[in-house]
Every structure is written in C-alpha cells, then in structure tokens.
Structure 1
C-alpha cells in the first residue's frame, strides 16, 4: 500500500509515512485512509458547477487523511496545493496504482460516433489473435473473457478508476488494453499520463458537445490530444483536419486511405465487402446492420493490422464479432422487428432510421427521448428527424435529470409538428415501449432509441436501475410473444 510520503513526493512536498487506501474527487466516496482531491466543477450553460473545495469538510468527516486542492487552505490534515487539481488527480492515481500502463500495450479510440463499436471490435480482434486483452468502454469492461458493467455514466471514467482498471488488467497478466477515450476525458485529464501505442480517430462531427467545449475547434483540439499522445495514429481519411493530424506517424483508412473497402453489400445479416490493406486483400463480412459500421470495421482492422494481427485473423475476427449491447441490437426478428440502439442525437438517430428503413416492409415506430442538462438543440434535432423518418414516434423520457421532463417533451413535439410528424407524448419510458410494441403489426420495425446499453434512468436527482432489453421483453410478453 503506497504512503502519503510517496504520493506527495511527486510534487516535491513532504508528508508523513501514512498508508493511503485510495483517492477520489467525490467526497461521497471518501473512506478512512483516502486522499480527497478537490477540483472545480465543469461549467455548463444549464447549471452552476459544483466545486470540490466546498466538500472538503465532508471528506474530512469521512476519514480523509490528506487533501489536494487548488486554493490556499489551512486544514488539520496534510494539504497539497496544486495549480491543476485534475492533472494532480491523474498523476496521483498513476503512482497509487503502481504505473500499470508500463506493463500494457495501450490503444485509444476516439471519434464523434462509433467509438464503442470500434473499440469493442478492436478488442475482439486483439483478443482472438493475441489473447489477453482488456477493454474499457461506454458499454462495459472486459478483462480477458470476464465482462463487467461500465463504470458510472461516463464514456471514460475518472482517472482513479482508469488506473485501477489498468492495474487489474496488468495483474491478471493481460498484454494489451483498448480504451474508449471521449473528448471530455481528454479535456478533463482523465487519461493524463498515458501514452498509447496506437490512437484511433474514427470521425469528427463539429457540432457535437458544443455545450461543453464551446467551439468546434476546441472540441477538435481535445480529441487531437489522443493523436499527440500516440506512437502511431490510425486516422479516417475523411477527417476535416486530416492534414493537421497526418503530420505525425499514421495509417489512414477509408476512401483514399491505405486501408479501404470495395463493393459494399448490405444484407439483412450484416455487411459484406472486400478489404484492401498494405498487408493484402480479402473478402470480409461483418455481422452488423448499418453501412456506417463499415467505417468502424476499417478503423478496427487498420489498428489491428498495425499492431501485428495477421490479415486472415482480422477477416476471421470481423466475421465472428458478436456485436455491441445496445448498438443496433435485435431483440425480436418476427412477426415484427424490435431493435435497440444508443442513437441519442439527431445525426445518430437519422443514421439508425435510414439503416432500418430498407429492410422494413411495414412501418417504422420509434420510441425516443432527449436528455436533460445537455445541449437543448439535441431535442429539436431529434424531433425533426423523428418526424421526417419515422411513421410514428412515442416521445418519452431519457435521463431528464434536473430539467422539467414535460418541457423537454414539448420541445421535441414542437419540432415534430413543424415537420408534420405523427407522435404521442408518453412520459414514462416503460409505458412508451409497451405502447409501441402493442401497436406494431407484422412487417413493422420498432426502434427503441437513446438508452442502448445504459443501466440507469435518471429522473431528477435519482438514478433508477434500467435495462432497455428487459423493458422490451416485458412488453413482448404482455403481447403474448416470447
């Protein structure tokens, strides 16, 4: 167990030889023997940020043996003042967990869309070909063959959880780890201190996450940090900033890139195409719906090939990929189809609906909401897309948090009305799913969008247990279907 003396020595600060049992930036998670790191909250347009310094008394009451913060404070325990609390948290976490990244080949995956699928697929390719790989992603954790639920509600958890995960992976003797890395994680220094063997940049949509980053340029710069910290970048040739990123050692994919596809054929079972690479070519099949998954397949294949996985192993791995929970997940095929997808923005919802339309002889029924305390433009975009591309939409809840649910529903409804859409407002999500499934007829597709894999539903300040698949199965049983 590391001591406070060892940890504070990182910053040239003297401290006693007190054992440290853990560290956190959440005062509610402090236990006796923990170091509490006070960081300023994240400013967002819809709410005043919390400030960790206001919670120092609670941390002390819970047994913190030391505090790290950015303000001058006089405390009854050792205190370390730093210029950047988040950077300090990451560096302390790395030392606390014994620098586990030194024992692992790290691969990072970022992009506006497709991060989870690309990371999961790359993990599958590495695991099949080389054995002993870990995965940290939005949809869950994997340590070899063991699967676990995701840590919290973030794509990439805070630095103590990231390093704890890497420590466990290294202790189990795993050789590599694939990390899904969000722009928030990079900007908020959740992966500070890590160097990646390969950094994959799948795509970039400049209008995403502007509530946090402020501008498209700031959003891009955050994502570009992954490339700067990678020995080799695997880049989509279509990236608008490709020339800037390509100044570093790189491998490109997509049209005009070194790894590309020809002859894409969409089937009800998945995507068939010919894969071309500097290592050779071959016929490939990926059992996922949606032409947009070709981009994810090329990104994962390019990274795997760059890491030494053979072409035949890549082709075999693509064909045996089991899919990603909550990403175009088919719950029922007949007499009508029920599909779960994480699509929670206008763009991703449009892609999902356009993917399902060609293979839906009947109607497209949609259940969707919009998250609270996020960019309000999202709910407008979702309402418009739903009206244009779905035959009927059931607007419902999706983590409205501290915002008024009915105001969110009305914003989506207003956008849908302007497009002449057909819809119902059903505030309770379970009831909305039931209504859609009871209304479905043979040949229809019911798309449950927005929640995907997520295990909680946030109502106000309460995070309720949630399982979208179980909600769908319950509704199907109510209709008398298996």
Structure 2
C-alpha cells in the first residue's frame, strides 16, 4: 500500500510512496514505516511515556510519515488525529486489507481461564488460527507468543489475521484482554462468537481504576459479537443477555454433572441443547470444566457436531505453562502461570487433592503491577503450601528485595514456612533438591513466558528448561535421571 492510499480516508494528501509497516514503538521503526505517536498509559507505579517524545528517534530510523495528537510541524507528512490509538487500529486494518472480513472470528475474554479456553476452542475447531498469551497457531503450526501482552498491539493483531486469511484458514480464535479492549488494540474487529469466561472484580485495577470500569472493558467483547457465550456465574448477567447469547455453567444451557477428578484428567457428563454425552478432558483442575464448557458451547453454536467435539476434547494436548507436568515420579513437578492470589489458590488446591506428600511452591510477584497482588500471593502461599520459595518474577525497575519482603511479610502473618531466594533458577533448584517421593513441586507465575524481566532487561527464560536442569543436577547427585511426562 502507498502512503497516499493509507491516508486517503483522513483527507491528508501524501506522496504515493510504498508503506512497509506501521508501529507505535519507535524501536521497531524501519525505513518506509509510519510511526503512530500515542500517549502512554498512566499507572500508579510509574510516569507514563509519551509517544510524541520519540518522534525524533522514529525519523532517524527512517519513518516516512507520522501520526499524532499534537500540533506539530515535521519534515515528513504528519496526520493529526484526536485519538492516536483509534487511528493506529484503523490504519492497521486498512494497511493489512481488512483481513477480519475473510475470517469467522471467536473472541475469548475473562479474568481467569481465557488462555485455556482459547486453546481448547482452537483445538475443537480443527483447522483454525489462534492468537493467545501462550502462543500462536496456524492450523497445527505453533509459534511462540508475541511478547508479554495477552493481546498485542493493533498492527500485530491485523498482521496475524492477514496471515491466517492468506493461508486459507476460515476461522481464528483471539484471546482478548481487558487491556486490549480498553486500549483499542482490537478496535474494528467484530466477532462471530464472543466468549466471556469469568470475572474477578479486584483484578487489573491499576489500569481500569474501578471494578465497574474493568467490567465495562470486558463487556465490549460481548457488544461486538453476533452471539455471546456467557458464564452463568458472571455479574450483571441480565445486561449482557440483551445480546443473542448461550449460557454455560450451573443453570445454563451447556452444563456438566457427575464430575470425576483423577490424576489423568477430568471426566463428566455433558448436557447441551444439541444432546448429551460423556466427556473426558486430560487436564488437572476441576475449574477447567468451566473452560471446557465455554469452548464446547462456542463450537456447538458454530455448528460443530457434538460427537466430534467430545472425541476431540479427549485428545486435547494441554496449554504450555498451564498445569504442565514436567515429571510425575518419584515426585511431581508442575509448571503453572498462576500469578495472582486467586489463580494460585486454585492451582494449589487442585494439586493438594492428588499429592501424597508435601506441596512445595516456587513463586514471586511482578514489579510495576498492582502491589496488592503481593499480599494475596504471600497469604495464599502460607496457607496452602507446606513450604514456599519466594523468588523473582519480572521485578522490572522495582527493587526485588522490596517485593520479596512484601511477600514474606504477608506469609509471616499467616504463619507460613518460607525462604527468600532472589535468583529464580536457584529457587527452582532448591525446591527440587528438597522434594521427596510423593511430593509436588509447583513452579508458579512464569508459565509459558520466554523472558525474565530484570530492571530494563528482558532476559531469555524457559521455565521448563530450568526445571529439567534442576532435575538433572539432582539426578547426577543421586545417579538417576528426570522422568518427563505430561498429564
């Protein structure tokens, strides 16, 4: 696309030179790019950046045009807009040729469970694309996630949809965070089915300010969906039901009974408007039944046959970093993304039911995030784990020792047993060296993430490899090797 064609809807004359890309990150600018300057997001723990301050850097890197919200005079075409984020989404959609029109889109949101539900729905649909916290997929081809965001910025979202359409795929599943909805990363996208899995009012208040604003951001997905698939446990359900909808969970149209929870997974009887059947989900954690119901309801509403979905559910390979079993015996090692008090509580309670010995925990709390999380995590760890190793988890520019002390103080008030081990690799090794037959070691907080943020650095990280390294070191000392295994 040329610059004049890209800017045509805004009435700004520009030369017909090729546009190679667009971004709001000046570090990503290359020759031929359009740079969109947006104001930063104000958060309690830091002063926001302002994209307008990085225009000189973008120009030095080869930007051929700039979009912004301020009155400026620049040596390249400058498009002034009222809302930079809105313009970024509109320009990205136009640049990539409106790829959303070629796909049936499924959006999944929720305070907890949206990643697992997204992976489940992608698996049930078969040949579809997936954009998620824990990775991307085009049919069966898997790729690592696009950074730390659940939902990336608009140019990457539309680039993903363009590739999916160009590959001939007909459906795409998008995991959609409240941040993405509030910050217009998915602006312009309409969904065939929108899935709202869960809502916890005390999450992400550092961005949204109030539970009401947080809920309104989530509810935008429902407003933009032809059909809403809604949990019966959601607040404000009557307001959401003004849209065409399908309910899942207790009292809904898609529900489960006779749950049997075992070491290999979850068995239950599924009831739907399309019939009933016996279901098996090879995941740990009874809470995953709700995620399965959400995904099944969306796929059934889209027209997939019930018998095919039940067969597919039983072959679900799991989600990287979500109750991922690294070793089963003689003691179990599990990786989970649990990084809030509520998600950590659910993970620990799940593992307690199938742990013969002690429950050992490695966990931290992220810097530059709501500090209330630290107290919640510390208290839950003290109550539910036999011993906790508090360690780093993306402390960013906050002092790590201050975060560890906040976790320790919360655990101390609950009478918990813990150690502070600042280096995460060492903390994992300490926990695994201490484990005895029948114990479970839970490595919580990082899950699938490929980086560990220390200060301003994002260092390569792989939680599974760190666990396997620790198991090898233990095995070398004892003369045996780690036993890898899935659920």
Q: Report the TM range for the smaller structure's normalisation.
A: over 0.9
Measured in 2, the distance between the counterparts of 1:94 and 1:145 equals 26
Partner of 2:164: 169
2:246 corresponds, among 244, 248, 251, to 251
Measured in 1, the distance between the counterparts of 2:9 and 2:202 equals 39
Partner of 1:272: 267
- What secondary structure sits across from 2:293 in the alignment? helix
Deviations 1:150-201 (Å, cap 9, x if unpaired)? 0111000000000000000000000100000000000000000111000000
Measured in 2, the distance between the counterparts of 1:66 and 1:18 equals 10
Deviations 1:253-299 (Å, cap 9, x if unpaired)? 00010000011111111110000000000000000000100110000
Query: How far apart are 1:15 and its partner, in Å?
Result: 1.6
Partner of 1:358: 353
After the TM superposition, which residues 395-406 of structure 1 pair with which residues of structure 2 at under 5 Å, given as runs? 395-406=390-401
Partner of 1:374: 369
Partner of 2:478: none
Partner of 2:426: 431
Query: How far apart are 1:11 and its partner, in Å?
Result: 1.6
Partner of 1:262: 257
Aligned length: 477
Matched, 1:318 2:313: yes
Measured in 2, the distance between the counterparts of 1:263 and 1:248 equals 31
Partner of 1:229: 224
After the TM superposition, which residues 268-347 of structure 1 pair with which residues of structure 2 at under 5 Å, given as runs? 268-347=263-342
- What secondary structure sits across from 1:136 in the alignment? strand
Partner of 1:103: 102
Measured in 1, the distance between the counterparts of 2:389 and 2:290 equals 30
- What secondary structure sits across from 1:10 in the alignment? helix
Partner of 1:407: 402
- The normalised TM-score by structure 1 is 0.99
Partner of 1:25: 24
Partner of 1:464: 459
Measured in 2, the distance between the counterparts of 1:209 and 1:413 equals 23
After the TM superposition, which residues 92-241 of structure 1 pair with which residues of structure 2 at under 5 Å, given as runs? 92-127=91-126, 132-241=127-236
Measured in 1, the distance between the counterparts of 2:386 and 2:169 equals 48
Partner of 2:54: 55
Measured in 1, the distance between the counterparts of 2:392 and 2:164 equals 37
Partner of 1:81: 80
1:444 corresponds, among 417, 421, 439, to 439
Query: How far apart are 1:243 and its partner, in Å?
Result: 0.6
Measured in 2, the distance between the counterparts of 1:154 and 1:99 equals 23
Measured in 2, the distance between the counterparts of 1:296 and 1:220 equals 19
Deviations 1:61-108 (Å, cap 9, x if unpaired)? 111000000001000000000000001000000010011111110000
What is the alpha-carbon root mean square deviation over aligned residues?
A: 0.5
- What secondary structure sits across from 2:10 in the alignment? coil
Measured in 2, the distance between the counterparts of 1:9 and 1:217 equals 38
- The normalised TM-score by structure 2 is 0.98
Measured in 1, the distance between the counterparts of 2:276 and 2:11 equals 54
Query: How far apart are 1:444 and its partner, in Å?
Result: 0.3
- Structure 1: gaps of 5 or more residues: none
- What secondary structure sits across from 1:98 in the alignment? coil
Measured in 1, the distance between the counterparts of 2:254 and 2:455 equals 46
Query: How far apart are 1:317 and its partner, in Å?
Result: 1.2
Query: How far apart are 1:370 and its partner, in Å?
Result: 0.2
Query: How far apart are 1:12 and its partner, in Å?
Result: 2.2
Measured in 1, the distance between the counterparts of 2:149 and 2:445 equals 15
* Displaced runs of 4 or more, over 3 A: none
Query: How far apart are 1:10 and its partner, in Å?
Result: 2.1
- What secondary structure sits across from 1:387 in the alignment? helix
- What secondary structure sits across from 1:7 in the alignment? helix
Matched, 1:6 2:14: no
- What secondary structure sits across from 2:213 in the alignment? helix
Deviations 1:397-452 (Å, cap 9, x if unpaired)? 00000000000000000000000000000000000000000000000000000000
Measured in 1, the distance between the counterparts of 2:2 and 2:347 equals 51
Measured in 2, the distance between the counterparts of 1:94 and 1:10 equals 13
Query: How far apart are 1:18 and its partner, in Å?
Result: 1.4
Matched, 1:91 2:125: no
Query: How far apart are 1:14 and its partner, in Å?
Result: 1.9
